[in-house]
Structure 1
Amino acid sequence: MYAEERQRLIVERARHDGRVEVTTLAAELDVTPETIRRDLTMLERHGQLRRVHGGAIPVERFGFEPALAHRATMLAEEKERIATAALAEVPESGAILLDAGTTTGHLAGLLPTDRELTVVTNGLAIAVQLAPHPHINLFLIGGHVRTRTQATVGDWTRAPLADTCVDVAFMGTNGISVERGLTTPDTTEAAVKRCMMASARRVAVLADHTKFSLDHFACFGHLDEVDVVISDSGLDSTLADDLAAAGPRVVRV
C-alpha cells in the first residue's frame, strides 16, 4: 500500500470512529508504529487530523458536535462495559443524577428496577427510557432543549439544580485532559454540567477512550472535583496513571 492510500484510509477511519490509535493502525496495516506516527504528522500538517496522546482525531471534532443519534452508534460495546462498571457506584437507595449522553444512556438501561431509586436527568432520551419503571422516582429537569444532544439547558435547567442534592452524579464529557479537566463545545451545556457536579456528594465521569487528551471550548470541571473516572481498556495506561495522580480513581474495563 502506498503512503497516500494509507493516509487516506487513516483519515476515513478517524472520521468514522472519532479517533485512531497508533498501535492499532500499525497492526492492521502491517507497518511500524513509527510509520504511522509519520503519517499522522503529515496529515496534521495538511490540516486533516490533530495529534493527541497515542493517536489522532479528525479536525472536524473541534468545530462540530455530532448529534445524539450518530454518537449512539459509536463504540457501543465499550460504552456498555463502562456503564456496567458504573453500576458499582450506584447506591442501594437514594438519589443519582444522569447527565444527558450516550454512555449515561447505557447506564440508564442497566439500572436496577426492583428497588426504589430517585433519578434526576436533563436527558430527554434517558427520561423516556426510565419513565415506564414504577420503582424509579424520575425527575426530568426542564429548560431549553438542544436538538443536537437532546439535553435541557439554560436558566430553567440550572435553577432546580441549586436546590438538589444527589448521592452520585454520573457525568458525560466531550473532552478530558490532565491540563484542562472536563470540557464540552457548548457553553450552555457546560453551565448545566457545573451545576450538576455541585449538586452531588460524589462525581463519576463516564468516558470512552476517544474523549481523553481532548480540550473543547468550555471547561465545566477539574479532575480534583471528580471521584472516579470510568473508561474502557482503550485508555492508555500511562495516561490513566497521570489522571489518577491529578485526583480521581481511574477504572479501565
Structure 2
Amino acid sequence: MTVTALSAEFAVTTETVRRDLDQLAGERRLVRVHGGAVPPSTTEVEPDLDARRITNVEAKRRIARVAARLLPEDPRAAVMLDAGSTVGELVAHLSGRRGPVITHAPAIAQGALAHTDLEVHVLPGRVRPTTQAAVGAATVEAVRALHPGLVVLGCNGLDGTGFTTPDPDEAAVKAAMVRGAARRVMLADSSKAGARHLVTFATTEEIDTLVTDEDLPAELAAELEDAGIEVLRA
C-alpha cells in the first residue's frame, strides 16, 4: 500500500497518512518501506534508510544526545560509526572532534564532512541500496585491520540473547566492527525490542552499552543489565 493510494482512498493528506503509518510502524503493526508500508509477515522486509529516517525521529534524536556523552574525551581518538538512521543522528554531535571518523556509510561520511576538523574515512565495498552501507569481503577486511577506541552501532532487533539484522553481509561488517573496537555502544529505540532477525552479529557479552528510550521493557532492560550491558535511557 502506498502513501498516495491511502491518501486518495481515505480522502486525507499524504502528511496525515505518513504520520499514521509511522505510528503503526512504531507499534510493529506494519513495516515502513519507501513510499508506503507493507504488512508484517514471515518474510523479512527490511525498511530502507529513507523510511527509517522518518520513523521514531524524536526518540532517535534523544538517543543520539545521550550517546554523544560517550564519545572519547580525547577529541583526537578514532571513532567508528555503523550505518543506520539512529547512528546518523549522532553525526550532529561530532563538533569539536579532530580525530578519525571511520564509516562504511557514505551518507554518514557526507554528514561528518560538515565538521571540517574531522578526518573522515570511508570504507570500501559494495553499497547496498536498502541501507546505503558498504558491505562485502573488502569492507570486512578493512574493518578487521582497524582497532578504534569506540564503535557506535545500530541493529534491527534486540533481545536477551543479542543483536540481530536481516542481511548476512551487513551482519558480517557489524560483527567485525564489534570485535575490533575497544568499546562497543549500541543505539536502538524500543521498537527494536523483542525482534529477532535472521543473523546475530553480537551477543550480549560483546556490547558494553545500550542507549535506548524510556519505552524499553523493564524485563528486557534487567536481562541485558544482568548480562553486563550498561543500559542508558534517553
TM-score > 0.5, shorter chain as reference: yes
Aligned to 2:34: none
2:199 is equivalent to residue 199 of structure 1: no
Letter in 1 for 2:51: H
> By how many angstroms is 1:18 displaced?
2.2
Gaps of 5+ in 2: 1-18, 31-38
Query: 1:164 aligned to 2:171?
Result: no
Aligned length: 206
Residue equivalent to 1:250:
231
Structure 2 equivalent of residue 219 of structure 1? 200
| The one of 116, 119, 129 aligned to 2:101 | 119
Q: 1:88 aligns with which of 58, 69, 78?
A: 69
What is the deviation of 1:15?
7.1
TM-score of the pair, normalised by structure 2? 0.83
- Give the direction of change, closer, same or farther, for the CA distance of 1:128–1:61 in structure 2 (3 Å limit): farther
Using the TM superposition, give the Cα deviation of residue 132 of structure 1 relative to its aligned residue in structure 2, in angstroms: 3.4
| TM norm structure 1 | 0.77
Amino acid at match of 2:121: F
Q: How does 1:222-237 map to 2 (within 5 A)?
A: 222-237=203-218
Q: Which residues of structure 1 form unaligned runs of 5+?
A: 1-11, 22-47, 50-57
User: Distance in 2 between the 1:80 and 1:60 partners?
Assistant: 29
In 2 relative to 1, CA 241–186 (structure 1 residues): closer, same or farther, beyond 3 Å?
Answer: same
Say if 2:64 is the partner of 1:67: no
In the superposition, relative to structure 1, how do residues 223 and 204 fare at CA in structure 2: closer, same or farther (>3 Å)?
Answer: same
Q: Distance in 2 between matches of 1:103 and 1:187?
A: 20
Using the TM superposition, give the Cα deviation of residue 124 of structure 1 relative to its aligned residue in structure 2, in angstroms.
1.2
Query: Over alpha carbons, which structure has the higher Rg?
Result: 1
AA partner of residue 206 (structure 2):
E
User: For 1:232 and 1:61, how far apart are their aligned partners in 2?
Assistant: 27
Distance 2:184 2:24 in 1: 27
The residue number in structure 2 matching 1:27 is none
Name the counterpart of 2:27. Answer: 20
SS of structure 2 residue aligned to 1:81: helix
Q: CA RMSD in A?
A: 2.0
Structure holding more helix per residue? 1
Whole-Å separation in 1 of the counterparts to 2:21 and 2:114: 38
Per mean C-alpha deviation after superposition, the further-off stretch among 201-210 and 87-96 is 87-96
